[in-house]
Every structure is written in C-alpha cells, then in structure tokens.
Amino acid sequence: MSWASHEWKDGLPLKALSNIEELEKQRDRLRKELQQRQLQIESMEQVNTKQKQKFDVERMAYSAMATDNKMLMETCEQLEKKRHRLEYDLQMKEAQLLQIEEGYTQKKKQLDEQSHKVRKSTFSQN
C-alpha cells in the first residue's frame, strides 16, 4: 500500500519530489511533536487531578479544624464565664466567712466577759 501511495509521485520533477519529501518529514516531525505534547497534557492533567484531590483533602481538613476551633473557642468562653462566676461566689463566701468569724469573735468575747462576771460574782458571794 505504501508503494501505491507513492505512485502519484511518479513523473514529478526532482524539485517537487524534494519539496514533498521535506513536507513529509515536517509532517512526521509535527506528528511526533503532537504525540509528545499530548502525553505532556495527559501527564499534566493527572498531576492536576492529584493536586485537586490533595486540595480537597486539605480543604476538608481545614474545615474540620475550623469547626473544632470554633467549638473550642465556645468552650473556652463558657469556662471563662464559669470561672468568673466561681470567683464571685468565692468572694461572697469569703466575705460571709469573715462576717461569721467576726461575729464568733465578738460572741466569744462577750461570753468570756459574762463568764468572768459570773465567776467574780460567785467568788464575791462566798
């Protein structure tokens, strides 16, 4: 068949045959170049697909971390509010305790004074 495809060239001048040969070489070179570029494109498409997949995984991981971070921030805020409330409660309890201790000290002093008076009066009666 290749011989039949070359029959049309029979009888052509040498210059035309030379030009045809040059064009056929150029065609073959361009075909090879096209194949190489198609392989490059396929390779780049594969790399691009992998990069997109990697990006999607990273985006999902980022989204999960952002959600976790938001939950942690909310938990921290709740704990901070609770800490403030507990500090306030502790201050109130300490103030109450101080009042009770002062009251106890006064009552003890009064009791000691009355006890001393009672002893003094019983001692004087004897």
In angstroms, the Cα distances linking 3 to 7, 8, 45 are 6, 10, 40
What was the pLDDT predicted at 121? 83
Residue 2 lies in a domain: no
Residue 71 lies in a domain: yes
Residue 74 lies in a domain: yes
Residue 7 lies in a domain: no
Residue 88 has pLDDT above 60, yes or no: yes
Are the CB atoms for 24 and 32 separated by under 8 Å?
A: no
Residue 6 lies in a domain: no
What was the pLDDT predicted at 1? 43
Tokens 């019983």 label which residue?
122
Structural domain boundaries, residue 111 = 12-125
> DSSP of 22-64, one letter per residue?
HHHHHHHHHHHHHHHHHHHHHHHHHHHHHHHHHHHHHHHHHHH
Q: What is the mean pLDDT of residues 58-65?
A: 98
Residue 5 lies in a domain: no
Are the CB atoms for 17 and 9 separated by under 8 Å?
A: yes
Residue 1 lies in a domain: no
Q: How many domains does the chain have?
A: 1
- Model pTM greater than 0.75? no
Helices vs. strands in the chain: H and E counts, helices first = 2, 0
